[in-house]
Amino acid sequence: MSWFVILNIIVLLAIIGLLVYMQKKHVSFTKRVFTALGLGIVLGAVLQWIYGTGSETLVQTTDWYNIVGRGYINFLMMIVVPLVMVSIIQAITNLEKTAQLGKMAGWIIGILIVTTMVAALIGVGAAAIFDLNAEEITVGQAEQERAASLEERYSTQVEGVSTPQRILNFIPSNIFFDMTGGRSTSVIAVVIFSIFVGIAVLGVRRKNPEQAEMFTKIVNAIYAVVMRIVTLVLRLTPYGILAIMANMIASTDFAGILQLGKFVLASYAALGTMFILHLVLVGVFGLNPFTWLKKVFPALSFAFSSRSSAGTIPLNISAQKNAVGVEQGIANMSASFGATMGQNGCAGIYPAMLAVMIAPSVGIDPFTFEFLAQLVLIIGISSFGIAGVGGGATFAALIVLSSMGLPVGLAGLLISIEAFIDMGRTALNVNGSMLAGTLTSRILGNFNTKVFNDKTAIAEEKSV
């Protein structure tokens, strides 16, 4: 290890020390996240400017930084399954009637899917306004290799798998395997199993109330321990965001971004438009959009830097329940569902933009009513089961493009800017899941307005 790498590590440790000092001085969680995000961007930019993309020193530096960045993500992934499982079981056992569960799930899924279809139309509009066309993109060796990889992935993972079969994958056949996260739909499988357990407890309560009471006490005790673990992990958020953002900026191919600048602008214009629509919906339902945005920012900043909707689940749930005022069961369900279905960015905007770009290359007019109606419908259906991790958008694109009869390999043309755009897509995905939870809680009348209006109620501190 060179002295330059050691110096870079010392710089990271010094910034971490600053964040620790801010915490000891009781600087708010949100301000510490903002600070970590900004310092991470500056640190990453300086590292790339000094050493250059791909240099050995930079590669070794980012490898060491990953101990903090990827380590934090691993801690979050570690608590996803126990958090989702215990939280949903406890939430259901607190329900008076199982009918409440149906309403809750129905509204959450409905909002997720409808907003994804709207996002698809926004993606189409952005592609039209910016006049995007796949034939204008220069094809290099990296793009050709990516195209070949996507063709192979399509033939092995997508071709021959129908929509009913993908939905069938939600149903767990081995819950212990799904607890390991072995499938893209593992989170939903865990949710379904937890719902069955919760409903079973309600049934036992009617016939054997003593046994149900004993089980409920055990679940409550486990829930208290799990939430304490969540609190401990979430306190590491500023440090994780600092390292993740520094690595991302240091490794970004800015030359590729400049080369495909029009697509980058179009993508973020679409993402920004959909984000504004989310805030409008928050306002329509009687909440201050700016207060809501401030409350959910820590979760959004982590989603943006980590590119993992699944990894953001613990922070997502905590932000909704402890900072926004969403009812506990709704927060758990919307965060879990939102990580694998109805993703506004990855499953809505991105596949729609690609379809509009690629269609002219095979002689199809993408702006006919027939094409657009089919596209929006397919996007709504195919948004079920998209993995909430890096690469989920590519899988969504493969499904949509193949269903529309378009060449899937052309999606590989955007490899050089994939990570940069995926950051914005993931943040929008997570924002959409929190929106679904917030609106559902308002509709069902169990939203805690007092928590929402409490300026001191934030995700980290109230989860103790």
**DSSP secondary structure string, 15-84?**
HHHHHHHHHHTT--HHHHHHHHHHHHHHHHHHHHHHH-TT-HHHHHHHHHHHHHHHHHHHHHHHHHHHHH
CA pair distance 448, 402, nearest whole angstrom: 44
Comparing 410 with 243, the larger pLDDT belongs to 243
Amino acid 462: pLDDT: 45
Q: Give the helix/strand (H/E) hosting 376.
A: helix 369-382
Report yes or no: 435 and 285 within 8 Å, Cβ to Cβ: no
For tokens 């600048």, what's the residue? 261
pLDDT tens track for 322-356: 999 998 889 988 988 888 788 898 889 988 998 99
pTM above the 0.75 mark?
Answer: yes
For the chain, how big is the Rg over CA atoms in Å? 22
Measured CA to CA, the distance from residue 106 to residue 93 in angstroms comes to 19
Residue type, 216: T
Structure tokens at 151: 């063709």
pLDDT for residue 192: 86
Is pLDDT at 435 greater than 90 in this prediction?
yes
Please calculate the CA angle 5-57-40 and round it to the nearest 5 degrees.
Answer: 70
| pLDDT of 463 | 39
What domain range includes position 79? 3-463
For range 307-329, the mean pLDDT: 88
Dump pLDDT digits (tens) for 280-295: 999 999 999 999 999 9
Q: What is the pLDDT of residues 187-239, one digit of tens each?
A: 778 888 988 998 898 889 888 889 988 998 998 899 889 888 888 888 888 99
- The token duo for 238 is 């500023």
Mean pLDDT of the chain: 83
Quick one: tokens of 368? 């006919």
Over range 391-420, report the average pLDDT.
Answer: 72
Residue 301 pLDDT exceeds 60: yes
Candidate from 58-72, 131-145, 430-444, 446-460 with smallest mean pLDDT: 131-145
Q: What share of the chain is helix, strand, coil (3-state, %, to 5)?
A: 80, 0, 20
What is the average per-residue pLDDT within 153-166? 59
Distance CA 6, CA 104 (A): 52
Domain CATH code at residue 97: 1.10.3860.10
65-74, 305-314, 432-441 — most confident range: 432-441
Q: Which residues contact 438 (CB under 8 A, 6 or more apart)?
A: 282, 285, 287, 292, 320, 324, 326, 447
Name every residue whose Cβ is closer than 8 Å to that of residue 417 and which is 6 or more positions away in sequence: 253, 256, 257, 260, 263, 264
pLDDT (0 to 100) of residue 141: 45
Domain count of the chain? 1
